[in-house]
Amino acid sequence: MAASALVLPLLAAAATPDEDRWARQVATRVEAHFGLLHDPERLARVITIGQRLEEAAGLPRGHLTWRLLDTPQFNALSIPGDRIYVTRGLLDSARSEEVVAAALAHEIAHITLGHTRQVMEERAAHRRLTLVIENPLPDGKTSQRIVVAEGPKAAPGARRKELEADREAIRILKRAGYPPQAMLSMLSRLGGPAREPSAGTQVHDETRALLSSHPSPDDRMKHARRTLQAISRETEITAETSTR
């Protein structure tokens, strides 16, 4: 796939009433647990960045619903129902718009790749779904856990899906006019000892299983660098071809 090509995602079919109810249940529980942040100025900033990325991802402008969570954690989160949450902590500590865009592009990629829809399809397993906001507080002293609905204990292929979303997010960033290297800056924010729970922190079995199924920030950075190198090569080939 050429780096400059615009790939239109295959938008999922309209959700069934049952899927709509479940998506609303997930949203209600996330918002109740963390609390919504009512900050029109910050929300407008997120929507501006988000809609620029939506168009680059081939989504209709305004297709996604954007909300802010009142938590100091550095994170963004996509859930069924085409909703994306951005935390106060991400907006507070991101050093540039590009870093915010990288986090948002990753969540948009989960949606365009069908990962959030797969969560709904996999819930037929009738086991507890544990939704983990896994990124740490700046001081590394918090481990969060919230059970959001009935569904699979851990989504199959979680590691693969995270890396897929990173790869697609890098391409979305480039198409949107952001430096794709911003993904490395965002991932570097997730690294370090702060990722690990502090001494004495209780980590539930479901949470530990989900954390172990996700690639580490270091692994994600290695894969991101490979994607950036591939895009660089594609750009060089395109430039050489255009001059002939």
Contact assessment for residue 74 and residue 13, using Cβ atoms and an 8 Å cutoff: no
pLDDT band at 229 (very low <50, low <70, confident <90, very high): very high
Q: pLDDT band at 151, cuts 50/70/90?
A: very low
Does 6 map to a domain?
Answer: no
pLDDT tens for 157-202 read: 778 899 999 999 999 999 999 999 999 999 998 764 334 433 333 3
- Other CB atoms within 10 Å distance of the CB of residue 224: 23
**242 has a pLDDT exceeding 90:** no
Read off the pLDDT of residues 77-117 as tens digits, 9 standing for 90 and up: 998 889 999 999 999 999 899 999 999 999 999 999 998 77
Task: Name residue 226's amino acid.
Answer: R
Residue 217 is predicted with a pLDDT of 84
Q: Is residue 132 part of a domain?
A: yes
Is 110 inside any structural domain? yes
pLDDT of 123 above 80: no
Residue 60 falls inside a structural domain: yes
Mean of all residue pLDDT scores within the chain = 76
Q: How crowded is the C-beta side of 47, counted as CA atoms within 13 Å?
A: 13
HEC letters along the chain: CCCCCCCCCCCCCCCCHHHHHHHHHHHHHHHHHHCECCCHHHHHHHHHHHHHHHHHCCCCCCCCEEEEECCCCCCEEEECCCEEEEEHHHHHHCCCHHHHHHHHHHHHHHHHCCHHHHHHHHHHHCEEEEECCCCCCCCCCCCCCEEEEEECCCCCCHHHHHHHHHHHHHHHHHHHCCCCCHHHHHHHHHCCHHHCCCCCCCCCHHHHHHHHHCCCHHHHHHHHHHHHHHHHHHHHHHHHHHCC
Look at residue 15 in the predicted model and tell me its pLDDT. 60
Taking CB atoms within 8 Å and a gap of at least 24, the contacts of 109-112 are 109/57, 109/164, 109/165, 109/166, 109/167, 109/168, 109/169, 109/172, 110/78, 110/161, 110/165, 111/59, 111/64, 111/78, 111/82, 111/84, 112/9, 112/57, 112/58, 112/59, 112/168
pTM: 0.74
* Mean pLDDT, residues 215-219: 85
pLDDT of residue 190: 77
What pLDDT sits at residue 150?
Answer: 42
Give 143 or 75, the one with higher predicted confidence.
75
Interval 1-24: pLDDT, tens: 223 233 334 444 456 777 778 788
In a domain, 122, yes or no: yes
Q: How many domains does the chain have?
A: 1
In-domain check, residue 12: no
**pLDDT for the residue 80:** 86
Confidence (pLDDT) at 193: 38
Look up the domain containing 175 and give its range.
Answer: 17-238
* Tokens at 84, concatenated: 């994306």
Q: Which two tokens stand for residue 74?
A: 């550095």
**pLDDT for the residue 129:** 46
pLDDT of residue 243: 59
- The token duo for 54 is 């939506």
127-131/83-87 β-pairing:
unpaired
Using the predicted structure, report yes or no on whether residue 225 has a pLDDT greater than 50: yes
What percent of the chain shows pLDDT beyond 90?
Answer: 48
Task: Supply 177's token pair.
Answer: 């006019």
